[in-house]
Amino acid sequence: MDKKLLMIVVNRGFAEAVVEETRLHGATGATVLNGRGSAGIGERFMGMEITPEKEVILIITDSKIASLVHKKVDEFFTANLAAGGLSFVLPVGHMTGKEGKE
Protein backbone atom coordinates (compact mmCIF):
# COMPACT_ATOMS: atom_id res chain seq x y z
CA MET A 1 0.00 0.00 0.00
CA ASP A 2 1.48 3.29 -1.10
CA LYS A 3 -1.12 5.95 -0.27
CA LYS A 4 -1.12 9.64 0.62
CA LEU A 5 -3.68 11.75 2.47
CA LEU A 6 -4.40 15.16 1.00
CA MET A 7 -5.91 17.58 3.53
CA ILE A 8 -7.39 20.68 2.01
CA VAL A 9 -9.07 23.51 3.95
CA VAL A 10 -11.16 26.06 2.09
CA ASN A 11 -13.72 28.73 2.90
CA ARG A 12 -17.29 27.48 2.99
CA GLY A 13 -18.78 26.98 -0.45
CA PHE A 14 -15.59 25.99 -2.28
CA ALA A 15 -15.29 22.28 -1.41
CA GLU A 16 -17.37 21.04 -4.33
CA ALA A 17 -15.23 22.93 -6.86
CA VAL A 18 -12.01 21.64 -5.28
CA VAL A 19 -13.26 18.03 -5.24
CA GLU A 20 -14.26 18.33 -8.91
CA GLU A 21 -10.77 19.66 -9.75
CA THR A 22 -9.12 16.73 -7.95
CA ARG A 23 -11.31 14.23 -9.82
CA LEU A 24 -10.20 15.69 -13.14
CA HIS A 25 -6.66 14.67 -12.20
CA GLY A 26 -7.22 11.15 -10.88
CA ALA A 27 -8.58 11.36 -7.34
CA THR A 28 -11.55 9.01 -7.03
CA GLY A 29 -13.33 10.25 -3.92
CA ALA A 30 -13.29 12.67 -1.02
CA THR A 31 -14.79 13.30 2.39
CA VAL A 32 -15.90 16.85 3.19
CA LEU A 33 -16.20 18.03 6.80
CA ASN A 34 -17.70 21.32 7.96
CA GLY A 35 -15.76 23.37 10.47
CA ARG A 36 -15.10 26.78 11.94
CA GLY A 37 -11.82 28.62 11.76
CA SER A 38 -10.32 30.26 14.83
CA ALA A 39 -8.74 33.21 12.99
CA GLY A 40 -10.96 36.25 12.98
CA ILE A 41 -13.15 35.15 15.89
CA GLY A 42 -14.30 38.16 17.82
CA GLU A 43 -14.34 40.41 14.77
CA ARG A 44 -17.60 42.23 14.28
CA PHE A 45 -19.54 43.36 11.24
CA MET A 46 -22.65 45.50 11.71
CA GLY A 47 -22.80 44.47 15.36
CA MET A 48 -22.64 40.73 14.66
CA GLU A 49 -19.69 38.52 15.54
CA ILE A 50 -18.07 36.88 12.52
CA THR A 51 -17.23 33.18 12.71
CA PRO A 52 -15.25 32.00 9.66
CA GLU A 53 -16.84 28.81 8.31
CA LYS A 54 -14.55 26.28 6.62
CA GLU A 55 -14.75 23.01 4.74
CA VAL A 56 -12.08 20.35 5.23
CA ILE A 57 -11.56 17.94 2.34
CA LEU A 58 -9.87 14.59 2.99
CA ILE A 59 -8.66 12.58 0.01
CA ILE A 60 -6.72 9.30 0.18
CA THR A 61 -5.06 8.55 -3.12
CA ASP A 62 -2.17 6.63 -4.65
CA SER A 63 1.22 8.19 -4.08
CA LYS A 64 1.72 8.14 -7.87
CA ILE A 65 -0.84 10.89 -8.43
CA ALA A 66 -0.78 12.71 -5.07
CA SER A 67 1.81 15.28 -6.19
CA LEU A 68 -0.09 16.09 -9.39
CA VAL A 69 -3.40 16.44 -7.55
CA HIS A 70 -1.77 18.65 -4.89
CA LYS A 71 -0.22 20.84 -7.60
CA LYS A 72 -3.62 21.26 -9.30
CA VAL A 73 -5.21 22.23 -5.97
CA ASP A 74 -2.50 24.88 -5.55
CA GLU A 75 -3.29 26.19 -9.04
CA PHE A 76 -6.98 26.30 -8.08
CA PHE A 77 -6.10 28.44 -5.04
CA THR A 78 -4.09 30.83 -7.22
CA ALA A 79 -7.03 31.24 -9.61
CA ASN A 80 -9.63 31.46 -6.80
CA LEU A 81 -8.23 33.65 -4.02
CA ALA A 82 -11.61 33.82 -2.27
CA ALA A 83 -11.31 30.08 -1.52
CA GLY A 84 -8.75 30.96 1.15
CA GLY A 85 -7.13 27.59 0.66
CA LEU A 86 -4.55 25.65 2.61
CA SER A 87 -3.45 22.14 1.69
CA PHE A 88 -0.86 19.57 2.62
CA VAL A 89 -0.03 15.92 1.99
CA LEU A 90 0.69 13.25 4.61
CA PRO A 91 1.86 9.66 4.18
CA VAL A 92 -0.62 6.92 5.10
CA GLY A 93 1.18 4.28 7.12
CA HIS A 94 -1.69 1.93 7.87
CA MET A 95 -5.25 1.79 6.67
CA THR A 96 -8.14 -0.48 7.56
CA GLY A 97 -11.51 -0.88 5.94
CA LYS A 98 -12.63 -1.39 2.42
CA GLU A 99 -10.66 0.69 -0.10
CA GLY A 100 -13.35 0.47 -2.74
CA LYS A 101 -12.78 0.64 -6.47
CA GLU A 102 -9.77 2.48 -7.82
Tens of pLDDT along 28-82? 889 999 988 776 656 666 666 666 789 999 999 999 999 999 999 999 999 998 8
**Boundaries of every domain in the chain:** 3-87
CATH 3.30.70.120 is held by the domain 3-87: yes
Return the closest-CA partner of residue 22 out of 62, 81, 82, 54.
Answer: 62
* Prediction pTM value: 0.82
**How far, rounded to the nearest angstrom, does the alpha carbon of residue 56 sit from its chain's CA centroid?**
5
How far is it, in rounded angstroms, from Cα 74 to Cα 27? 15
Of 7, 5, 6, 23, residue with least CA distance to 55 = 7
| Average pLDDT value for residue range 72-97 | 90
